[in-house]
Structure 1
Amino acid sequence: MFIESIILHNYRAYRGHNKTSFKPDIKNIFLVAGNNGFGKTTFLTSLVWCLYGKLMADVDDKFRRDINDAQGYKNYARQSLHKELANAVNAYEVSLEERKQIVKHGYSSENEYIKEDSQYYVEIGLTDVFIPSIPCRTITIRRTYDYFLDIESVEVLIDGQANELAKEVGYDIFINDFILSKDIAKFFFFDAEKIVNLAEVKSIDEKRRLSIAYSEVLGIKKYEDIKRNLENLRLKFRRNAGSTASKAKLDKLTSSVTDIEVKIKVKEAERENIDSQIQQYRTESIQLQERLIREGNAISVEELKKQKELLVALKDKDTKLKNQLRDMLDIAPFAISGKLFTNLMGQVAAEKDVKTSAASCEAINSALQSTQTQITDAVATLKFSTSQKQAVEHIIAEVFAKNILDISDATIDDVKILVDYTDNEANEFQALFDNIRYSFSAIFKQLVKDIKNNALFLAKTQRKIVEAEYDDGNANVKEIRMRKAEVDELLAQLEIQTRQMSEQIGTLNKDIKVLKKQLSEVAKNVRVDKSDKEKDIIAERLIGELTTFLFELRTKRKLSLEKKIMAGIDVLMHKVDFIHNVRIDLQDDIIEIELLDKTGELISKEKLSKGEQQLYATAILNALVEESGIEFPVFIDSPLQKFDSIHSRNIITKFYPSVSKQVVIFPLLGKELSEDEYNALLPNVNRVYVIENEDGCSSFKKIVPNKLFETLL
């Protein structure tokens, strides 16, 4: 499928008839470049609006927020007419009767001028389209909105003619089913800066929505739908044929399932509404903060409260630090005394040695005397003559006398006892000496530094509080701050509500699974009428085959997708072996993509840089597009955001040339695409358009690809 042309007529900044043409070629890249505010993102949005109209809210959260911010799709659509034309239409004096006639019979030659100014449309011309059972070469889709009549219309022409099949199913359904499903459009129309959302999916609901999109793009959903339809058909057979009791039970369970499905839809709608309010209040909170800054006061009520809490903490810290300083100042005189303190330490150590030696001598002598007494007593019990006993005792006494130590000899160099510390006192003095010698200076300097820094921070915080409280006299600042406090409080409450809503939806999903299981068990025991029995047998067989097929398909897609994502990461990332493997975990309707390092440990996606997250998301996108086999052009806004030069070159030379047969990028030249990067891209560039803007009106100018930067300069 190839987009041959796009026409924007009076759509937003594009006043008048603005056409871009694309020519199929081996060169697959097309550039639509322009300055900020000239209409690059508008161009991308116009394509989504042309294809899906009010259903564009289902394509991406950005479009849903835009519609909610406009207070509904009708207002959103009305805002898309060029402002000058909208003002002109508003100025026309048209009677109520004339308006009724236009609504009833359409525009006449007399009021054709109103139609010319009040209608805008976007038209997409497609070629190389394959639709089963409808042979065609081209398809033209035009969506029009009439600002004057508040009417939207869409037209689909196949080979230039209206088609009955497309009319019968409805143009919006035809586009969704045969051109590109809205559930997977986000993979083909995306803002490269916001593609990191694929890498930041956290909540169960986000994973569930992404899983649905994956199933759609990988071709799994259509088989799941067939299986579901067959299961409903078998259930219908049983409800028609069962006994009164079994039928009543089936009806009750079916009714319960339906009720819960309705509740889930209601809860999801409520959650979407809350999420929309959260987005609106966040925007308002940011705007209020900006107003405070412009007013010269950047502190909100909540921030002022935090500053006061911080001030209390800083004062406590100041007290503790000063107490520590006082403790250190108590021992500072020892440090100041220097050599005297060292000499004193020497005296204490010497006295301790003397005391230790004397104590040792006393202990040894006491032990020797005790031993001598024991030996002498033992000799007395022996059967020796008196002379023999006396001789032995004399020898023993003589030997022991020679080994008795003289305590006076233990005095080392006649040390004079001056301090006379006990062992505990000497040990404490030694600890004090070691502290002053090895760590006192460093700790003291760091403590003084901490006190100074804390004092500066404390003074700065006090100044902020004083300025903020002084500005309370400014009624405008006070009003803004109070409103911001209200908005932030509402935000906190809404975030709690949306979490609770998600929990309730999760509970309902569990309940519905239990009921469906019960429904299946009851249905098994109900006999089918003879007229439906053969159909039921065929349906049962097909369901079994589909179950096996879906399991094998999911496994096959899972393994293939893992390999393709890993291959994409290897090609795009310059960190070798940073991500060693990719694992996809499929659990019911939840999909989890996990990154693994060399050791098999999970890599937290939150710890990836924004550039790495974008590369990872790009690898997912590339793998999905390749695996799906869907040939549809890829449109990329804000390319190469947050990439370094190596990653940018990888994207330019390896991603853009291969992701699709037609890639249209919308760069901000110089910032999002430098001249060197463009030169690397040039061999694959087919055609280049530059968006020009004059007097608030944007238009396209075709540029020779190799003259782009020369033309702009």
Structure 2
Amino acid sequence: MLLHEITLENVGAYKGKQRINLEVREGRPIILIGGLNGCGKTTLLDAIQHTLYGSRARCSGRGTRSYDAYLRETINREASPKDARITLRFSTTVEGEQRHYRVVRAWQVRGKSVREFLNVFINGELDLVVSESWADYIEDLLPLEVASLFFFDGEKIESLADPERAAPVIESAVHSLLGVNTVEQLRTDLLALQRRQKVSDEDQQALEQIKLIEQQISEADQACADSLQCVASAQASLDVAEAALVVAEDAFATKGGNLYQRRAELEAEKKLLEEQLQGMQDNLANHVAAGPLPLLLLSSQLEQIKKQAEREEAAAQAGQVLETLATRDQQLLDFLNQLVGSEPTAEAEKYLVADRLQRAAEADTPRFLELSRSAAQQLASLDQILDKEHSNALALVDEVTRLRERLNTVERQLAAVPDEQMILSLIKQLEAARLQVAGLKADLGRAREAHATADNDRKQLVTSREHAYKKRASGLAKAEHVARIITYADRVRTTLQQFGDALLRRHINALEVAVLDSFTRLMRKSGLVQDLRIDTDKFTLTLIGADGEALDPTRLSAGERQLLAVSLLWGLARVAGNRLPTVIDTPLGRLDSRHRQNLVERYFPQAGDQVLLLSTDEEIDEYLLSRLKPAIAQTYTLVHDDQTFTTTIEHGYWWQSGAPHVA
């Protein structure tokens, strides 16, 4: 398939009729179109897809808007009347014959209504049948899923480096682009053949029922597709809103919003801490300090008092027994005189007299205290009381210190609370972001429920159809020729299944080699990836690092992931034979100079038989233009008038036709 020409009339920034010749030559497959940001490069990419696929086109400028709203806003603001038109000429081979197509898609706004027209010319002749069934016809020429692999925004394909996101792309490409689905279609056709054999003219009522179910299934398929698109749209809006919420939360936290929200809690805690601290201090002052604890300051004096009390106690005891001892000593001396004589008695008398004199001296100890027995006992237990009071006081002091430190922390946090007027706008933004996220989550939930309902209805219809076929088959399978057809069809379907599996493995192996070779050509780090594998069941792509282990794609830089995604698309195109045009918008975003040069020298000239590059002056610059020049067939520059906000298309590229349009 080759694109020959595209004409835009009052589309986007293109006022009036603007035409681009897209013819290429042998060995020069590249059409280079330059334009600054906002000049209309993406509009060109969207225009090609819009012309081919209409409301199903995955135009980057549409977003979540309805198709009528998109058509209305796509018309140039200066156009009068509000009419727009896109004409795309291309050629392709159909059933071995070269056919030339001219697809004209036009729309006009009249009041509140938008009308769209589509005419398809084949080999110069208007074909009304193809025009009416174009949506189905183009799926045979270039399926929408396949087109997304060849018409892409260079900055948005990085997601294909994610194995989960790349899997459906690889599956779709292998089945649609490499012809694997043809085998499956043959198996489906054989199944349809089997089912037709089960349908007899003898049961017209059952036949009508089956037709009705088939129609209902077709309607259910459309309902499922519409609801799935609603889910995707709601998910995209929710992702944007959640990202905005994260930004709002970060801004709120940076400005002290969390402390502001805790202000009442902090103030209450401060008041409680102050009350607890005051209570502790009152306890220390009124109870602990007012008790016996201050006596610890008189430790040496208390020790002297204790010793004096002991001495006075001993003196009192000595005074009490002194007279009794004198009487006892005289009786003892008289008894000794009777037993042993006067000389030993004199010695004993001297001892007893000396003992009484010593006791008398002790009894003469000065008495300053004259404590009672209970007071003396209290004085003896004073050390134990003071130890206990001292331990209690230390515990109270530690608690006071802890409370004071916590109070200081709370006071610092309160001091950091921002002013209400300063934080008010951030609070409003945060609440608005949260409300938006909550609303979008609810919308997403409803969209998912609607899709689940539609999918369940479809499954029930499919089950009903199978039951109807089985019921029909029970009566018609008696005929021998019908049974033979069914038997042989089953055998062929089994053979086709085996053939399809073998074909799939062959294509997957070729694709692995092509993608790895493409990635190796484009990468600056030659030893980063040694191998890659594609699962034939889940179609997930696994990178193998230099150590032979699986390499997580998140370890690659943004530029390397973009190169991996490009390599995947390039490998698919190479395995498919480069038979489709490639249109790349902003092809060199996020890439360093080395990787840009690799793309320019190794990929673009070999990306296909026709390659449209939509570039800014900072992507394909003067140096890269010189490297790309041998492969360029034609160049154009999109010139934007900032006064009228319109774009015109001029021949030549920057550094070829001068530099008046370089920012």
Structure 1 residues 595 and 312: CA distance shift in structure 2, 3 A: farther
In structure 1, how many angstroms separate the alpha carbons of the residues matched to 2:210 and 2:534?
35
Structure 1 residues 473 and 552: CA distance shift in structure 2, 3 A: closer
Structure 1 residues 55 and 599: CA distance shift in structure 2, 3 A: same
8 Å Cα contact 1:241/1:528 also seen in 2: no
Match of 2:418, SS state, is: helix
8 Å Cα contact 2:158/2:558 also seen in 1: yes
Task: Tell me the CA shift for residue 195 of structure 1.
Answer: 0.9
Match of 2:656, SS state, is: helix
| 1:219 and 2:166 aligned | no
In structure 1, how many angstroms separate the alpha carbons of the residues matched to 2:51 and 2:518?
32
Task: Tell me the CA shift for residue 264 of structure 1.
Answer: 8.0
Match of 2:68, SS state, is: helix
2:477 corresponds in structure 1 to 527
Higher Rg: 2
Structure 1 residues 303 and 613: CA distance shift in structure 2, 3 A: farther
8 Å Cα contact 1:237/1:528 also seen in 2: no
Question: 1:491-542 CA distances to partner (integer Å, 9 max, x unpaired)?
Answer: 4556677889999999999999999999999999883534534543453343
In structure 1, how many angstroms separate the alpha carbons of the residues matched to 2:415 and 2:78?
49
| 1:668 and 2:619 aligned | no
In structure 2, how many angstroms separate the alpha carbons of the residues matched to 1:651 and 1:579?
18
Identity of aligned residues (%): 20
Unaligned runs of 5+ in 2: 270-407
8 Å Cα contact 1:238/1:528 also seen in 2: no
In structure 2, how many angstroms separate the alpha carbons of the residues matched to 1:520 and 1:600?
52
8 Å Cα contact 1:196/1:617 also seen in 2: yes
Task: Tell me the CA shift for residue 278 of structure 1.
Answer: 3.4
1:18 corresponds in structure 2 to 18
| 1:645 and 2:588 aligned | no
Task: Tell me the CA shift for residue 624 of structure 1.
Answer: 0.7
| 1:186 and 2:137 aligned | no
In structure 2, how many angstroms separate the alpha carbons of the residues matched to 1:512 and 1:559?
38
| 1:121 and 2:85 aligned | yes
User: Please, what is the CA RMSD of the aligned residues?
Assistant: 4.5
Match of 1:226, SS state, is: helix
8 Å Cα contact 1:301/1:481 also seen in 2: no
Structure 1 residues 503 and 54: CA distance shift in structure 2, 3 A: closer
Alignment partner of 1:685 out of 606, 609, 632: 632
1:490 corresponds in structure 2 to 439
Task: Tell me the CA shift for residue 464 of structure 1.
Answer: 7.8
Deviates more, 1:509-518 or 1:617-626: 509-518
Match of 1:564, SS state, is: helix
Task: Tell me the CA shift for residue 699 of structure 1.
Answer: 0.9
Give the letter for the 2:133 counterpart: G
Structure 1 residues 269 and 123: CA distance shift in structure 2, 3 A: closer
Alignment partner of 2:542 out of 575, 594, 614: 594
8 Å Cα contact 1:15/1:697 also seen in 2: yes
2:388 corresponds in structure 1 to none
| 1:466 and 2:418 aligned | yes
Give the letter for the 1:607 counterpart: R
In structure 2, how many angstroms separate the alpha carbons of the residues matched to 1:196 and 1:182?
20
8 Å Cα contact 1:689/1:700 also seen in 2: yes
| 1:170 and 2:133 aligned | yes
In structure 2, how many angstroms separate the alpha carbons of the residues matched to 1:583 and 1:36?
38
| 1:52 and 2:53 aligned | yes
1:549 corresponds in structure 2 to 499
| 1:75 and 2:69 aligned | yes
Q: How does 1:608-619 map to 2 (within 5 A)?
A: 608-619=556-567
Give the letter for the 2:183 counterpart: Y
| 1:634 and 2:582 aligned | yes
In structure 2, how many angstroms separate the alpha carbons of the residues matched to 1:645 and 1:635?
22
1:274 corresponds in structure 2 to 231
Question: 1:227-279 CA distances to partner (integer Å, 9 max, x unpaired)?
Answer: 12321331343465999xxx99x999999999999878756644432331233
1:428 corresponds in structure 2 to none
Give the letter for the 1:54 counterpart: S
Alignment partner of 2:121 out of 157, 181, 197: 157
8 Å Cα contact 1:278/1:494 also seen in 2: no
1:571 corresponds in structure 2 to 521
| 1:623 and 2:571 aligned | yes
In structure 1, how many angstroms separate the alpha carbons of the residues matched to 2:435 and 2:616?
38
Task: Tell me the CA shift for residue 309 of structure 1.
Answer: 8.4
2:252 corresponds in structure 1 to 299
In structure 2, how many angstroms separate the alpha carbons of the residues matched to 1:254 and 1:53?
29
Match of 1:150, SS state, is: strand
Give the letter for the 2:176 counterpart: E
Match of 1:83, SS state, is: coil
Structure 1 residues 21 and 500: CA distance shift in structure 2, 3 A: same
Alignment partner of 2:646 out of 675, 697, 713: 697
Match of 1:84, SS state, is: coil
2:161 corresponds in structure 1 to 199
Q: How does 1:222-301 map to 2 (within 5 A)?
A: 222-238=182-198, 240=200, 269-283=226-240, 298-299=251-252
Deviates more, 1:605-614 or 1:526-535: 526-535
Give the letter for the 2:252 counterpart: I
Structure 1 residues 575 and 506: CA distance shift in structure 2, 3 A: farther
Task: Tell me the CA shift for residue 212 of structure 1.
Answer: 2.8
Q: How does 1:322-401 map to 2 (within 5 A)?
A: none
Structure 1 residues 156 and 496: CA distance shift in structure 2, 3 A: closer
Structure 1 residues 227 and 641: CA distance shift in structure 2, 3 A: same
In structure 2, how many angstroms separate the alpha carbons of the residues matched to 1:576 and 1:220?
33
8 Å Cα contact 1:35/1:668 also seen in 2: yes
Structure 1 residues 575 and 274: CA distance shift in structure 2, 3 A: same
8 Å Cα contact 1:685/1:705 also seen in 2: no
Match of 2:526, SS state, is: coil
In structure 2, how many angstroms separate the alpha carbons of the residues matched to 1:602 and 1:505?
39
Task: Tell me the CA shift for residue 581 of structure 1.
Answer: 0.8
Match of 2:540, SS state, is: strand
Structure 1 residues 543 and 613: CA distance shift in structure 2, 3 A: same
Question: 1:359-395 CA distances to partner (integer Å, 9 max, x unpaired)?
Answer: xxxxxxxxxxxxxxxxxxxxxxxxxxxxxxxxxxxxx
Structure 1 residues 496 and 593: CA distance shift in structure 2, 3 A: farther
In structure 1, how many angstroms separate the alpha carbons of the residues matched to 2:264 and 2:622?
51
8 Å Cα contact 1:239/1:251 also seen in 2: no
In structure 1, how many angstroms separate the alpha carbons of the residues matched to 2:171 and 2:544?
21
Give the letter for the 1:48 counterpart: Q
In structure 2, how many angstroms separate the alpha carbons of the residues matched to 1:674 and 1:598?
34
Give the letter for the 1:181 counterpart: P
Give the letter for the 2:73 counterpart: Q
Structure 1 residues 207 and 576: CA distance shift in structure 2, 3 A: closer
Structure 1 residues 165 and 620: CA distance shift in structure 2, 3 A: same
Question: 1:628-671 CA distances to partner (integer Å, 9 max, x unpaired)?
Answer: 2352211100111111111111110010000111111111112x
Question: 1:38-59 CA distances to partner (integer Å, 9 max, x unpaired)?
Answer: 1010111011111111121xx4
2:430 corresponds in structure 1 to 481
1:444 corresponds in structure 2 to none
8 Å Cα contact 1:220/1:550 also seen in 2: yes
8 Å Cα contact 2:163/2:542 also seen in 1: no
In structure 2, how many angstroms separate the alpha carbons of the residues matched to 1:462 and 1:188?
59
1:39 corresponds in structure 2 to 40
8 Å Cα contact 1:119/1:146 also seen in 2: yes
Match of 1:640, SS state, is: coil
Match of 1:600, SS state, is: coil
Structure 1 residues 301 and 484: CA distance shift in structure 2, 3 A: farther
Structure 1 residues 530 and 629: CA distance shift in structure 2, 3 A: same
